[in-house]
Amino acid sequence: MKRQLLAAIVMALATVGVARADGTNTPAVAATPPAAAPKIQFNKTVYDFGTTSLVDSVTGTFTYQNVGVADLKMSKPQPSCGCTVASVKPDVLKPGDKGELVFTVRVGGQRGRLEKHITVPSNDPASPTVSLSIKIEMKQILEATPQQFALGSLRQGATTNLSVVLRRTDGQKLVVAKTEPSSKFLTAHVEPVEGSDGQSVKLVIDAHADGAPRAINENVKVFLDGISQPAVTVLVNGRLLGDVVLDHEQLYWPITDSSHTPAQDAQSLPVRRITVSSSRSDQPLQITNLSTSLTNLTVELVTVETGKVYNVVAKLTESPKQSERGTISFDTNTSVQPKIFIPVTIIVLKAP
């Protein structure tokens, strides 16, 4: 009996000791409530326009809401190329408030599946940026065969006829309201195609090689009845030749900065050549009064084939300290190009 009483006393004392130790060594820590934070939520993150055609642009709206417990602050959205954000209202939302992001995507002249993106930053700690996607399927209802012409080289005064078959692919009749050439270099008109049930026409383009010699990058836009934007654009590229042909119509000359390098002698300075030739066989080409507007550049005329081909040799007299622009010019005995100017751009590249 005494042994049992003693054991009970020992057990009680041990329990009290453990309780006191717990109370002394492990003080209670109060739980820290989470900080109040905003939370952005969009009604959707993918805006699919489906299939459309004959439009210059499409416009839509993403709706968002602050479902958090603190003010939501919107930063400037970052759209991908071809997409613009018209407005984000409001850019600060109280908890529970809603806003709208209005966007526009330019799709004129494009075809097939398009996808654009908008990145939306905010002060939402859980989602500091949200990526929105915009999808569009552009259907081409007007086919042009061919849609591009490479004319090559045309002599001044020449005229070239081009023919394009336009076909409507949606089964409706093709009614061309107007054609719009990009310059006076081109004229265009429409002719019917027999047996096409009114769904095809022939677009006849006349290219008139008039004006100064130049690269040709022109087009003809075709508009359908009742639609303001062009349904198709036909491209016309080539080169208009004069009596004088240059292998370089301008001289772009990058030079390494020599400020921290030993001085170069005249023989080691860079040299550039421009070949000048005649496109006429009935009149020899004569070049006179060769000069340059740049003080640190000399020019020399070297005959390759008398009356036919010459080289204009440009030499630097000293290494330039800074970039500069000027011209090389000369006179010819042609009536169309009596004076020729060649732009020169010297770019001084800074040494690393």
Q: CATH 2.60.40.10 in the chain: give the residue spans.
A: 40-138, 142-241
Distance CA 41, CA 101 (A): 12
The two structure tokens encoding residue 74? 């919107």
Distance CA 110, CA 217 (A): 19
Hey, which CATH number is domain 142-241, 3.20.20.70, 2.60.40.10, 3.40.50.12660, 2.60.40.1180? 2.60.40.10
Distance CA 192, CA 198 (A): 8
pTM of the model: 0.54
SS3 annotation, 270-310: CEEEEEEEECCCCCCCCEEEEEECCCCEEEEEEEEECCCEE
End-to-end CA distance of the chain: 99
Omega of the bond leading into 320 within 30 degrees of 0 (cis): no
Reading the chain (352 residues) residue by residue, the pLDDT tens digits are: 455 544 554 455 455 454 444 444 555 555 555 678 999 999 999 999 998 877 778 899 999 999 999 999 999 999 988 888 878 889 899 999 999 999 999 887 677 899 999 999 999 999 999 999 999 998 888 889 999 999 998 887 889 999 999 999 888 899 999 999 999 999 999 999 998 889 999 999 999 988 778 889 999 999 988 777 788 889 999 988 888 988 888 999 888 876 655 555 555 677 999 999 998 888 899 999 999 999 999 999 999 999 999 999 999 988 888 899 999 999 999 888 899 999 999 998 876 6
Regarding the domain with residue range 40-138, which homologous superfamily does it belong to in the CATH classification?
Immunoglobulins (2.60.40.10)
Do 40 and 73 contact (CB within 8 A), yes or no? Answer: no
Distance CA 35, CA 221 (A): 60
CATH class in words for 244-349: mainly beta
Give the residue among 185, 192, 179, 224 at the shortest CA–CA distance from 207: 185
